[in-house]
A and B are shown apart, each in its own frame.
Chain A
Amino acid sequence: MPVVQVEGVHKRFGAVEVLKGIDLAVEGGEVVAIIGRSGSGKSTLLRCINGLEQIQSGRIEVSGHSIDPSGKGLRELRKDVGIVFQSYNLFPHLRVGENIMLAPRIVLGVSKAEARSRAEETLAEVGLAERFDAWPDNLSGGQQQRVAIARSLAMRPKVMLFDEVTSALDPELTGEVLATMERLARHGMTMLLVTHEMGFARRVATTTVFMHQGKVWEMGPSERIFGAPETPELRQFLGGGLK
């Protein structure tokens, strides 16, 4: 059974329909890249999968938790779905370790010792074990983004969503965040990532989804999507995007 199942999802903002019937299934351990033009609905789709946006029709199921337009089960869903944004949004009044321990402590109710060991473990995973007591403001953008990833991982999500997590970073810092994500992928994390890093998508993603005008326009193994795009829209997008 897929970890993430999206069926016939429609999402409107006011009168504007942004998602026009999305179907998508992500198997455990799969890495799915979502590409597409600005405004095609990529971020909105991720936000719906995390329950940050309510859908108008259709169904989203993540490892047995499902949400529908009634909006019930949003919080349960979020426990299983980690999401990392372009802006890192660390809690500036808490140290790095406390940033990571907070959600497991108060949302999952784990003990302080358990939260601490999770924080140490996930910080090591993103290569920042020695920054446990640092203040977020004193970290570089790339380090802050890796802490944000660690903060999500500490909830032990079934799937991680990444929305252009390197777009705000200098090229040299982009590399360290991408390396972190690649490592997560290798360790078997199920991932959905919106990215403009086409090289990274092609190399790391098992499947690539091309979104266009609120629909899944074309989708397939990354090699095929990038190597032999079928629709003119995708061909044009890649032609423009890889310039």
Chain B
Amino acid sequence: MIRQFTQSEFLFILASARWTLLLTVMSMLLGGLLGFLVALARTSRLAPLRALAAGWIGVIQGVPVLMLLFLSYYGLALAGFDLPPLIAATVSMALYASGFLGEIWRGSIQAVPWQQWEASSALAFSRPQQYRYVILPQAMRIAIPPTVGFLVQLVKNTSIVSIIGVVELARAGNLVNNATFQPFKVFGTVAAIYFVICWPISLLARRLEGRLHARRAG
């Protein structure tokens, strides 16, 4: 039986966007936390920590997200951890984010001129004080554009978790399309919702950037 694309189908798709949002927020938070540690390790004075972080970044960036997803879902299930799809999805997206954010933030930290390290050393700052008061505030400004760029990618890439059965935005669209055979309406709606999520993020980034620059010029 072919259904129509009515308000209830629309609401179903709209409601499923909450999983997309939740997944994005959770993987950004967890992945950001881990990615921050990776970035710190990557710029550490201890060579083993640097190597470990470099390895982590290399592996995460070199493996398709899909494999991370399968590993978290099927792999961990085999190992005896039976994770609900949403948890497995969050874990894999967070791991994915940690590798990319770690690398973005490493670059931002290293983009701060080395003289800033020297000037703060000369004033007897400890290493943590240098990070906290001198390096990270400057690295943050540098990190905003690429971080937001990645966040937008992340929103869209969450669609991949539909493969293990999480009914997020893309999967909801697919289900509705299967029942209605109205791909233009259905996927047009889905695309519009993705856009409505991503657009404000980009706008916000531009505003933040603008404000930081204005503050310095003012």
Contacts and interface: CB of A to CB of B under 8 A. Distances in A.
B133 interface: yes
Given A87-B115, A93-B137, A107-B125, 14 more contacts: A75-B124, A75-B126, A76-B124, A78-B124, A83-B122, A89-B116, A89-B118, A91-B119, A91-B138, A92-B138, A106-B125, A106-B133, A137-B216, A137-B217
B123 interface: yes
A85 B124 contact: no
A44 interface: no
B121 A93 contact: no
Which 8 A-B residue pairings sit nearest by Cβ, starting from the closest? Answer: A89-B119, A78-B124, A103-B123, A89-B115, A79-B124, A83-B122, A93-B137, A107-B124
Nearest to B215: A135
Interface of B: 113, 115-116, 118-126, 129, 133-134, 137-138, 141, 215-218
B72 to A, nearest CB: 39
Interface of A: 50, 52, 75-76, 78-79, 82-83, 85, 87, 89-93, 102-103, 106-107, 135, 137-138, 148, 151-152, 155
Contacts of A82: 122
B122 A93 contact: no
A103 B115 contact: no
Nearest to A91: B134
A90 B119 CA distance: 8
Contacts of B121: 52, 78
Contacts of A87: 115
Contacts of A85: 115, 118-119
A78 B123 contact: yes
Contacts of A91: 116, 119-120, 133-134, 138
B116 A155 contact: no
A76 B124 CA distance: 7
A42 to B, nearest CB: 16
Contact of B122 (A50, A102, A106, A137): A50
Nearest to A98: B133
A14 B129 CA distance: 29
A87 B120 CA distance: 13
A46 to B, nearest CB: 10
A137 B216 CA distance: 7
Contact of A103 (B116, B125, B138, B217): B125
A224 B14 CA distance: 87
13 contacts: A52-B121, A75-B124, A75-B126, A85-B115, A89-B118, A91-B120, A103-B123, A106-B133, A107-B129, A135-B216, A135-B217, A152-B122, A152-B123
A155 B125 CA distance: 12
A83 B113 CA distance: 18
Contacts of A52: 118, 121-122
A91 B138 CA distance: 9
A5 to B, nearest CB: 20
A167 B74 CA distance: 64
Contacts of B113: 89
A151 B217 contact: no
A103 B216 CA distance: 21
Contacts of B123: 78, 102-103, 107, 151-152, 155
Contacts of B141: 93
